[in-house]
A and B are shown apart, each in its own frame.
Chain A
Amino acid sequence: MPPSIFHRLILTAGFLSLFHAAYSAAQHRSYLRLNELEFTSLPLDILIQGVTSLFVVMYGVLYIAGDFKEIKASAELENKTWETYRNIPSFYTFNHRGKAFSPQYVQMNSKLQIEEIE
Chain B
Amino acid sequence: MNDLSNLSWSEARDLLRTWRDDNDRRSEEVLQLWKSVLEYNLNKLGGEKFSVLEQVCLAALDCYQIPTVDYCIKQLSNEFPSSLRVKKYYAMRLEAQECYDDALTVLDSLIKKDETNNAPRKRKISILRAQGKNVEAIKELTEYLKIFMSDIEGWQELSDLYIAEQDYNKAAFCVEELILHNPHNHLLHQRYADIRYTQGGYDNVELARGYYCQALKLNQNNLRALYGVYLTSSSIAASPKCTAQKKKEMLKLVDWALLEIKKRYSVVKDTFTDNNIEERLSVLQIS
Residues of A whose CB lies within 8 Å of any CB of B are: 73-74, 77-82, 84-95, 98-99, 101-102, 104-105
| Residue B24, interface by CB 8 Å | yes
- Min CB distance B106 to A, Å, is 15
In the complex, which of the residues A80, A85, A98 contacts B64, with contact meaning CB atoms closer than 8 Å? A98
Question: Interface segment, B32-40, B75-83, B91-99?
Answer: B91-99
- Min CB distance A7 to B, Å, is 24
In the complex, which of the residues B27, B61, B65, B187 contacts A85, with contact meaning CB atoms closer than 8 Å? B187
Residues of A within 8 A of B160 (CB): 86
Give A28 to B127 CA distance when docked, in angstroms.
Answer: 75
Residues of A within 8 A of B126 (CB): 90-93
Known: A77-B184, A78-B221, A86-B160. A102 touches B65 (CB 8 A): yes
Residues of A within 8 A of B184 (CB): 73-74, 77
Give A99 to B28 CA distance when docked, in angstroms.
Answer: 12
Which positions 127-141 of chain B face chain A at CB distance < 8 Å?
Answer: 127, 129-131
In the complex, which of the residues B62, B64, B218 contacts A92, with contact meaning CB atoms closer than 8 Å? B62
Q: Find out whether the CB atom of B186 lies under 8 angstroms from the CB atom of A74.
A: yes
Interface of B is mostly: helix
Residues of A within 8 A of B5 (CB): none
Q: Find out whether the CB atom of B98 lies under 8 angstroms from the CB atom of A105.
A: no
Give A90 to B85 CA distance when docked, in angstroms.
Answer: 12
Residue interface bits B27-67, CB-to-A below 8 A is 1, else 0: 10000000000000000000000000000001001111111
Q: Find out whether the CB atom of A104 lies under 8 angstroms from the CB atom of B64.
A: yes
Residues of B whose CB lies within 8 Å of any CB of A are: 22-25, 27, 58, 61-67, 92, 95-96, 98, 119, 122-123, 125-127, 129-131, 153, 156-157, 160, 184-187, 190-191, 218-219, 221, 224
In the complex, which of the residues B98, B153, B157, B219 contacts A78, with contact meaning CB atoms closer than 8 Å? B219
Q: Find out whether the CB atom of A98 lies under 8 angstroms from the CB atom of B62.
A: yes
Q: Find out whether the CB atom of B61 lies under 8 angstroms from the CB atom of A94.
A: yes
Q: Find out whether the CB atom of A104 lies under 8 angstroms from the CB atom of B185.
A: no
Q: Find out whether the CB atom of B62 lies under 8 angstroms from the CB atom of A74.
A: no
Closest CB pairs A-B (n = 7): A102-B64, A95-B130, A93-B130, A94-B96, A73-B184, A74-B184, A99-B64
B20 nearest CB neighbor, chain A only: A89
Give A95 to B126 CA distance when docked, in angstroms.
Answer: 10
Residues of B within 8 A of A98 (CB): 27, 62-64
B23 nearest CB neighbor, chain A only: A87
In the complex, which of the residues B24, B98, B125, B190 contacts A91, with contact meaning CB atoms closer than 8 Å? B125
Give A115 to B70 CA distance when docked, in angstroms.
Answer: 26
Give A84 to B156 CA distance when docked, in angstroms.
Answer: 13
In the complex, which of the residues A77, A80, A92 contacts B58, with contact meaning CB atoms closer than 8 Å? A92
Q: Find out whether the CB atom of A104 lies under 8 angstroms from the CB atom of B122.
A: no
B221 nearest CB neighbor, chain A only: A78
B25 nearest CB neighbor, chain A only: A87
Give A78 to B187 CA distance when docked, in angstroms.
Answer: 9
- Min CB distance A92 to B, Å, is 7
- Min CB distance B174 to A, Å, is 12
Residues of A within 8 A of B219 (CB): 74, 77-78
- Min CB distance B229 to A, Å, is 17
In the complex, which of the residues B23, B157, B218 contacts A74, with contact meaning CB atoms closer than 8 Å? B218
Give A89 to B62 CA distance when docked, in angstroms.
Answer: 11
- Min CB distance A2 to B, Å, is 14
